[in-house]
Amino acid sequence: MPQTLCIETIAVENRCFKNLEYHEARLNKTRRELWGYTDVWKLQDRLSIPDSLTNHLYKCRMAYHKEIDHIQWEIYHPRQILKIRKVYHNSVDYGFKYDQRPMLNQLFAQRGDADEILIIKNGMVTDSYVCNVAFLDGNNWFTPDTHLLPGTQRAQLLDLGIIQETSISEEALTKFSHIKLFNAMVTWEHAPVLPIGMIG
């Protein structure tokens, strides 16, 4: 049986890693909770940026288990998101950032003519296909406490007080004016913002 792998997707810009300490914290937590490994990794000692990389924004995709399995480097091209489709699944689970995510792929396939999905689990808002989400109530941004994956950008934004965590039901979406989608590759400043009415 093939070995289960998890991944970290790390942004590299101007030949520098971004938010490395947050990726490190999640990786070490994953290795400890999922497989029982107690050694602590320092990613700066395990990753080196190839000479071929320019100052563009790159995605470093590192797959690992007990050790690093493989690393891929590619220029990051953001997707345009203009419309979001709600999809439903009451047992979807993505608490760890697995290399393979067949259930999320199946849900994304239900998007129809939309560009992205918003996953509803047991009546509660979770995440999009590849992003954590936040909602604007007019003054403040709130992110669901029922998220599927604890994103590294999400953790940093919470620490900085830029977003707040709260329970958000599907019915409560109408209380907000906008949705914002962000992840390790999409900074808060560059994250897509859509009117709540673009969620169908």
The DSSP annotation for 20-82 comes to HHHHHHHHHHHHHHHH-------HHHH----TT--SS-EEEEEEESSSEEEEEEEE--PPP--
Position 68 scores a pLDDT of 97
Average pLDDT for residues 136-144, to the nearest whole number?
Answer: 96
* Alpha-carbon 162 to chain mean position: 17
Per-residue pLDDT, averaged over 188-192, amounts to 94
What is the C-alpha separation between 56 and 76, in angstroms, rounded?
Answer: 8
Query: What pLDDT does residue 1 have?
Result: 44
pLDDT at position 2: 61
**Is residue 190 assigned to a domain?**
yes
What's the mean pLDDT when you consider all of the chain? 96
- Number of domains making up the chain: 2
Q: Please indicate, yes or no, if residue 1 is contained in any of the structural domains.
A: no
Same domain membership, residue 104 and residue 63: no
pLDDT at 29: 97
Q: Give the residue carrying structure tokens 């007990």.
A: 66
Band the pLDDT of 3: cuts 50, 70, 90: confident
User: What percent of the chain is modeled with pLDDT above 90?
Assistant: 98
pLDDT at 8 exceeding the cut of 90: yes
Mean pLDDT computed over 15-31: 97
CA 132, CA 191: separation in Å to the nearest integer? 11
- Same domain assignment for residues 175 and 89: yes
Identify whether residues 89 and 107 lie together within a single domain: yes
pLDDT digits (tens, 9 = 90+) for 100-130: 999 999 999 999 999 999 999 999 999 999 9
Q: What is the mean pLDDT of residues 25-46?
A: 96
102 and 172 co-located in one domain = yes
How large is the average pLDDT for residues 86-97? Answer: 96
The Cα–Cα gap between 145 and 178 comes to: 18
Residue-number span of the structural domain to which 118 is assigned? 84-198
In a 13 Å sphere around the CA of 82, the CA atoms on its Cβ side amount to 3
Distance between CA atoms of residues 43 and 25, nearest Å = 10
For 46-74, how does the pLDDT look when each residue is reduced to its tens digit (9 = 90+)? 999 999 999 999 999 999 999 999 999 99
Q: Which residue, among 99, 102, 73, 100, has the nearest Cα to 6 in the 3D structure? A: 99
C-beta separation of 200 from 83 below 8 A: yes
Please state the pTM of the whole predicted model. 0.94
Whether 109 and 21 map to the same domain: the answer is: no
Helix (H, G, I), strand (E, B) or coil at 102: helix
State the Cα–Cα distance between residues 137 and 135, nearest whole angstrom.
7
* The pLDDT value given to residue 81: 95
Angle at 178 between CA 145 and CA 88, to 5 degrees: 55
Same domain, 96 and 187: yes
Read off the amino acid at residue 95: G
